[in-house]
Amino acid sequence: MRNLEQTLNIINEKTVEMIKKSIRGLEIIDIILKKGEFDKSLYGESKLLEEDCDDLELVLDELIVETIARFQPAAGNLRYLVGVLQIVTDLERISDLNTGILKLIKRSVRDENMLNKTVLEILENMSAKVLKIFKTFELAFIEKKIENTYFVFGLDDEIDDLRDDCIKTVEELVKKDINFVSKASKVIVVAQKFERIADIIQNLSENYVYIRKGDVLKHQTMGE
């Protein structure tokens, strides 16, 4: 029968596994955007990653609740379990968003006009930056380096700016070619999903600060 320490180690290992699978989903998007063409095999891998994340969420939810009920942990251990419970929920949301982005790309790349160079560059930039901040969180969680999470908070505004740039670019393209309207909506939704993923990664970082220090950053404005 496992003791509390062994159970916490298992929870941590499975959480890291879920983080890595969610990051791989983003890497697939990044690869496809850089290639400028849809890759069915990578899309298939992404679908499997989403299913794996769904399964891990269920396993971790049950394991965490069972651990709290059985061991009645206090202080830092209880804070860790509560924080990880929220992290797991957010990771599953990211996995869903990854698949949602790929579905939009899959529908859109059938039309070459979707791959307007300027739009594609903005989406590539968004993808790369979101991936960067996600890997920053991963490093913080795995190596227990809380200072890495503060870097995440500083990058969120950059993602918002890129989303706004994407919307402005698409609006200009629509003015030049009204036929671009149907494609424009898909591009904007992709940009918004990237922005949403960045927001969730910030939530992950806030929860990690809570785990390590007990500070509740949610709903606070950074710098206040």
pLDDT in tens, 66-80: 999 999 999 899 999
- For the chain, the structural domain boundaries read 4-213
Q: What share of the chain is helix, strand, coil (3-state, %, to 5)?
A: 85, 0, 15
Average pLDDT along the chain = 89
Q: Whole-prediction pTM value?
A: 0.91
CA distance 107 to 218: 36
Tokens of 27: 């890497």
In 3D space, the residue among 56, 86, 81, 55 whose CA is nearest the CA of residue 70 turns out to be 81
Amino acid at 207: N
Q: What is the CATH number of domain 4-213?
A: 1.20.58.220
Confidence of residue 221 (pLDDT cuts 50, 70, 90): very low
**Each residue of 82-101: pLDDT tens digit?**
999 999 999 999 999 999 99
